[in-house]
A and B are shown apart, each in its own frame.
Chain A
Amino acid sequence: MIKTDVVIVGAGPTGLFCAHQLGIIGLKCEIVDNLDKIGGQCIELYPDKPIYDIPAVPECTGEELTNNLIKQIKPFNFKFHLNDRVQELREENESWIVKTTNGKEFNTPNVVIAGGVGSFEPRKFPTKSAEKFDGKTVLYSIKDKSIFKDKSVAIFGGGDSALDWAIELSSTSKVSLIHRRDEFRGAPASVQKIKELSEKNKISLFTKYSIKDVKGNGSLEEVEIKSEEGESKTIKADYVLGFFGLIMQLGPIAEWGLNLDKKTIPVNTENFETNKKGIFAIGDICTYPGKLKLILSGFHEGALAARGCFKHARPNEKYRFEFTTASNTIKDRLGVK
């Protein structure tokens, strides 16, 4: 059990800046994110897209913004728990027990939900029949590529993940690549390579097809694909892989007893606390009259939520407002003279 002042759910820009504000006022925090990297939507959806509305930063990419925020909280040495997701919140003796999917447990008076639109999950096949093979022979990510050796693998998708794996596995497996249109969105070099492999019959390429059904008695045997005109084909497959990118799902947050408005959490605008004491929501996931889904709003919300956390984490102390330009205490925390 890790004891801390605040658990932040979500390592996007809002969560990161809230961590900074907690560090400035002398609180400790632990940050949990479902992705394998820090940055949230900025890094997952638009690392290369320029952002033009960060105050005093005329232009920066999602990746640059993330790197600067990481640099800004470096002095505080906060711990990140990536590839993990907060699953359960339970109240116990005026504090919160927070459990993650990987079995970590935190004991904290405050939880700040900075979860964006939820956690990123792979998009799955629309076919119901794929569900019973999910995680066994119908996969959306690859952990151990050796399982595909000498097997038939049907790969669906047109982006880099689909192309890269089709190329990689074509040397040791019988690969079919299926995509709904003629054009691929992957890197031009990969697209070229796929065409070459297809001409040499190293992979079977099916364009303008999508999945119709997966079949097998017990284990997966074949996958049926269909064209828009209704024509279908059957391909032998021991494994079916789908690479359709990620989707954001609210996930377990919906089960924590918080008031919800569609996919957002109503908060007060004084400290961004939810209907539960000690649970705060900031950034895209929170809502209040006039809410703007901008990164800069998330920064403001995080600063106020941090002060809200102080009350629960240090009930016997009075919070003193200080400027970073003038306070020696803050300079000590930042490790600057």
Chain B
Amino acid sequence: MAKIKYIEHNGKEHVVEVQNGLTVMEGAVQNDIPGIDADCGGSMSCATCHVYVKEDWYDKLPKKEMGEDDMIDQAFEPNSSSRLSCQIMVSDDLDGLSVYMPEKQV
């Protein structure tokens, strides 16, 4: 279980407890948190669950697997702190993680 903070582009914060084994994307979708669309349902095919992770946390997350950066290329305003939230698996280690949403998911 990890407490995760989802921060909308307008600054609005949502803190929820997400079970281990779910992804950060699923944590948002299951709690009706706006700003993460996840059109493809988590198969790393659409880049509409794009989030930014600040440096302190970025380095602690499991590394990106093959293909994630290719999809991030297609996300809205990606940068070096971009991740796809469907590829971040929740575990106790992620307790306190904050993710920032882009202006939109296109």
Could you tell me which A residues sit within 8 Å of B by CB distance?
Answer: 41, 45-46, 117, 123-124, 126, 157-159, 179-181, 183, 185, 210, 228, 244-245, 247-248, 263, 293
Contacts and interface: CB of A to CB of B under 8 A. Distances in A.
Given A159-B73, A245-B74, A124 B106 contact: yes
Contact of A126 (B45, B48, B69, B76): B76
Q: Is the interface of B mostly helix, strand, loop or mixed?
A: loop
Contacts of B39: 117, 247-248, 263
Contacts, number: 52
Interface size class of B (residues with CB under 8 A): 20 to 34
Nearest to A127: B77
Contact of A244 (B43, B73, B79, B80): B73
B73 A247 contact: no
B97 interface: no
Q: For the complex, would chain A's binding face be called helix, strand, loop or mixed by DSSP majority? A: loop
A247 B80 contact: no
Given A183-B69, A247-B48, A123 B43 contact: no
Contacts of B41: 293
B74 A123 contact: yes
A245 B73 CA distance: 9
A293 B37 CA distance: 15
A228 B80 contact: yes
A183 B67 CA distance: 12
A185 B70 contact: yes
Interface in B43-101: 43, 45-48, 69-70, 73-74, 76-80
A327 B90 CA distance: 53
